[in-house]
Structure 1
Amino acid sequence: MTRSTDVVVVGGGQSGLAAGYHLRRLGLEHVILDAQAAPGGAWQHTWDSLRLFSPAKYSSLPGRLMPVQSGQTYPDAQHVVDYLADYEKRYDLPVQRGVWVEAVHRDGAFLRVATDGGDWQARAVVSATGTWTRPFLPAVPGRREYTGRQLHTVQYQSAVEFAGQRVVVVGGGNSGAQVAADLAHAGIDLIWVTQRPPRFLADDIDGRALFDHATARRRALDAGRTETGGVASLGDIVAVPPVRAARDAGLMAAKPMFSRLTATGVEWADGIAADVDAIIWCTGFRPALAHFSALRLRGTRGHIATTGTRAVDEPRLHLLGYGDWTGPASATLIGVGRPARDAARQIRELLR
């Protein structure tokens, strides 16, 4: 049996909920299909010590401020999960859980969304699947020959499981810095390697400032002014308190990226080698867009060409929350609200 609605939102994390909020405000019939068994999106699968880059009041979805977490300036992941669950309930968003979207097809005037529980027919689709389910591992020589443990950020939980071991953390972004700091504070024998020397943002800069910078840049580009550099021009790492403390204590002295893996560890271009028990790859993600393969829209680096959030070659499709290419800072809690609002408004015009 095929069910029908105006809009299908694929993904029930922060971006999907923001889309649902604005679609509901505009009176558009929609359903949110989420593969997870519980609310919270990717936040329910992060490592134990993860902290937001911004205080709670600057980490909110549209219409509902995130409450302050007692004793914490920067909330932890469980606080975000609780907030998203409350948000979904507060606005009575039509989330159906445990539904895996297999493919989206063109079907005349409609888009047909095929799931493991049957098909949906929609006049528009919003994809909000994020990147967490597509961890990226670089093609480093020897990676298959190394006999120790290798894991990605998505598999890391806490420093406890690495007690008594020597661990390499690869990555000079926020995840790499937070994981390295977590291990360093626990007294783990740590080697932190980065492609270039770590670039810490000024200690007083957090996610709110980054969002403002990204928004100003987008407005400047839209107005035809010269590119001044995105958020990355300010630095790569937000110095949240645990990272700042480890850095200032000299526990996070980064080494340059090694050139290859050996059977027992890592080796640099100058021949220096180190035996290690585990390697944690904090090397980023790619957008989870396999459900659109039948539409043949993929471009470079797995992206789909967009104007704002709308797919250039399929105007019934909007992409939300994958990064700056789908809206300034749209992969953040505070940043996804405006692109979600714009997408909902464009869908309303399309349906008219």
Structure 2
Amino acid sequence: MRIHQATRINIQSPPYKEKIYEALANIYRLPSSFPFTHHRAKSTETKRMEQEAAAAVVVGAGPSGLAASACLKTLSIPHIVLEREDCFASLWKKYAYDRLHLHLRKRYCELPHMHFPPDYPEYVPKDQLLRYFDDYVARFGIEPAYRRSVESAVYDEGDGRWRVGARDVGSGEVVEYRCRFLVVATGESSDAFIPEVEGIEGFGGKVIHSTRYKNGKEFENSRVLVVGSGNSGMEIALDLANHGARTSIVVRSPVHVLSRGIANLGLALLKYFSPGTVDTLLVLLSKLVYGDMSKYGLRRPSEGPLLTKTKYGKYPFIDLGTCQKIKSGEIQILPALKRIEGDVAEFEDGKSHPFDAIVFCTGFKRSTHKWLKGDDYLLNEDGIAKPSLPNHWKGKKGLYCVGLSRRGFSGAASDAQNVADDIKFQL
């Protein structure tokens, strides 16, 4: 502790400061990676420190990052996990609505090397999922460096290593980690996205993104517009209707509707049949179960649900009761939102409706392209893996990605093990 305090003495002359740090390092035999022994402050406001990292740096401590860390640990590969939030699995812990359950059976959602407890239900609720994450982190001794926002990652051709610059969110200091392998595990859901809507700034009611929605209690008897027809939008619309809100949802484009049973059957059949064959069966079953939903405003895409997900990144909507609410008129389907004037929303069909609140379930934008420099092979501008399966997880020069192939937890688990095995092979 005394050494740490001594390094914080405010000596303004850089040469004297560095001599003191160097002397301390010699006296106490501090390693060369001791951050104060080999850096010079770039300014009086922001210090840039260098830290010799372990073999790998994992960016992100969501489920994908935890999976990557666990697989690296089982192979005794030293690594560091950087996380910009103050906890692991922050999207699930801090930004998920109360009624959230996994839409797929638990066997499709396990992280590597650890099953869900046998007494967990088939479709795991949020609280039990968080407990599983807690147990997973404890079991593998995962210790992320929290509040570290990665701002740059550049491959140094000179020494064959990645230089990863991460800003301490609290102090503003930038630490540069040097590593041979860089694993991008930031997940498909990164930065909340709200599209620009003309007149939204003049709306007098509540406007939130789905990451700020918890439940529909506060919206009872309110006129609520949900913008976005993905799984979050459809389930939040259902929750609002169940809490007595007069609910409408914007559905701009065609969407596949599947029940949980149909979706899980599709995953099981992929082991035996081609995606095209499975798609044909899924569409047939959906028609049998739900009938023609186009008369309610839900049009079915011309391509199958698996192809639509792979080709366009548009997931099928897993119905938990929303369709029945739509058929009964408790949830109204509306076309694309055009503009807002006061508390009135105008839509592409020319009709207008007043609302008390708007919930944007418009997904996320990934910011990987802003900090990952020089990669034109592994990730596209949206932060999704470009190489085709099954080698989508491996880039060049020691760059990897986990959980960025639109295959959910099972895909992240597979990616994590492949990445760890490949790194181990090179050490």
Q: TM-score under structure 1 normalisation?
A: 0.83
**Whole-Å Cα distance in 2 between the matches of residues 174 and 194 of structure 1?**
12
- Paired AA for residue 306 in structure 2: V
Cα distance, 1:284 vs structure 2:
1.5
Partner residue in 1 for 2:191? 134
Cα distance, 1:206 vs structure 2:
3.7
Cα distance, 1:258 vs structure 2:
3.0
Cα distance, 1:275 vs structure 2:
1.0
**Whole-Å Cα distance in 2 between the matches of residues 136 and 217 of structure 1?**
34
**Whole-Å Cα distance in 2 between the matches of residues 321 and 128 of structure 1?**
6
User: Compared with structure 1, are the counterparts of its residues 301 and 64 closer, same or farther at alpha carbon in structure 2 (3 Å cutoff)?
Assistant: closer
**Whole-Å Cα distance in 2 between the matches of residues 219 and 23 of structure 1?**
35
Cα distance, 1:288 vs structure 2:
3.4
**Residue 187 in structure 1 maps to residue 244 in structure 2:** yes
Secondary structure of 2:54's counterpart equals: strand
- Over aligned residue pairs, what C-alpha RMSD do you find? 3.1
Q: Deviations over 1:47-83 (max 9, x none)?
A: 111111023333211111112566x542222221111
**Whole-Å Cα distance in 1 between the matches of residues 259 and 399 of structure 2?**
38
**Residue 239 in structure 1 maps to residue 323 in structure 2:** no
- Paired AA for residue 83 in structure 2: D
- Paired AA for residue 86 in structure 1: D
Partner residue in 1 for 2:115? 65
**Residue 259 in structure 1 maps to residue 338 in structure 2:** yes
Equivalent of 1:310 in 385, 394, 408: 394
**Whole-Å Cα distance in 2 between the matches of residues 333 and 100 of structure 1?**
24
Secondary structure of 1:177's counterpart equals: helix
**2:246–2:330 Cα contact (<8 Å) kept:** no
Q: Deviations over 1:85-143 (max 9, x none)?
A: 11111122343333332321223311112223522211011011124341222334433
**Whole-Å Cα distance in 2 between the matches of residues 15 and 215 of structure 1?**
27
Partner residue in 1 for 2:402? 320
**1:50–1:76 Cα contact (<8 Å) kept:** yes
Partner residue in 2 for 1:148? 205
**Whole-Å Cα distance in 1 between the matches of residues 383 and 77 of structure 2?**
30
- Paired AA for residue 193 in structure 1: V
**2:96–2:214 Cα contact (<8 Å) kept:** yes
**1:185–1:246 Cα contact (<8 Å) kept:** no
**Residue 4 in structure 1 maps to residue 53 in structure 2:** yes
What count of residue pairs does the alignment treat as equivalent?
A: 334
Equivalent of 2:180 in 123, 126, 141: 123
The structure in which a higher percent of residues are helix is 2
**Residue 36 in structure 1 maps to residue 85 in structure 2:** yes
Secondary structure of 1:52's counterpart equals: coil
**1:56–1:67 Cα contact (<8 Å) kept:** no
**Whole-Å Cα distance in 2 between the matches of residues 304 and 6 of structure 1?**
23
Of residues 184-193 and 205-214 in structure 1, the stretch that sits farther from structure 2 once superposed is 205-214
User: Compared with structure 1, are the counterparts of its residues 219 and 3 closer, same or farther at alpha carbon in structure 2 (3 Å cutoff)?
Assistant: farther
Cα distance, 1:38 vs structure 2:
2.7
**Whole-Å Cα distance in 1 between the matches of residues 275 and 57 of structure 2?**
28
Of residues 200-209 and 178-187 in structure 1, the stretch that sits farther from structure 2 once superposed is 200-209
**1:17–1:93 Cα contact (<8 Å) kept:** yes
Partner residue in 2 for 1:224? none
Bigger radius of gyration: 2
Secondary structure of 1:280's counterpart equals: strand
**1:309–1:339 Cα contact (<8 Å) kept:** yes
Q: Deviations over 1:243-273 (max 9, x none)?
A: 4664575533422223322222211234321
Equivalent of 2:415 in 339, 344, 348: 339
- Paired AA for residue 404 in structure 2: Y
Relative contact order higher in (CA < 8 Å, ≥ 6 apart)? 1
Partner residue in 2 for 1:286? 365
**Whole-Å Cα distance in 2 between the matches of residues 113 and 215 of structure 1?**
43
Partner residue in 2 for 1:225? none
Q: TM-score under structure 2 normalisation?
A: 0.69
User: Compared with structure 1, are the counterparts of its residues 100 and 208 closer, same or farther at alpha carbon in structure 2 (3 Å cutoff)?
Assistant: farther
**Whole-Å Cα distance in 2 between the matches of residues 216 and 172 of structure 1?**
29
Cα distance, 1:144 vs structure 2:
3.8
Secondary structure of 1:95's counterpart equals: coil
User: Compared with structure 1, are the counterparts of its residues 216 and 77 closer, same or farther at alpha carbon in structure 2 (3 Å cutoff)?
Assistant: farther
Secondary structure of 1:129's counterpart equals: coil
Secondary structure of 1:100's counterpart equals: strand
**1:165–1:277 Cα contact (<8 Å) kept:** yes
**2:104–2:260 Cα contact (<8 Å) kept:** no
**Whole-Å Cα distance in 1 between the matches of residues 101 and 142 of structure 2?**
27
Partner residue in 2 for 1:157? 214
Q: How does 1:209-248 map to 2 (within 5 A)?
A: 209-210=266-267, 213=270, 231=306, 233=308, 236-240=316-320, 242-243=321-322, 246=325
Q: Deviations over 1:12-44 (max 9, x none)?
A: 111011111222233322122222323333111
Cα distance, 1:286 vs structure 2:
2.0
Q: How does 1:5-24 map to 2 (within 5 A)?
A: 5-24=54-73
Partner residue in 2 for 1:113? 164
**Whole-Å Cα distance in 1 between the matches of residues 415 and 403 of structure 2?**
8
Secondary structure of 1:315's counterpart equals: coil
Secondary structure of 1:254's counterpart equals: strand
**1:213–1:230 Cα contact (<8 Å) kept:** no
**Whole-Å Cα distance in 2 between the matches of residues 126 and 24 of structure 1?**
14
**2:58–2:184 Cα contact (<8 Å) kept:** yes
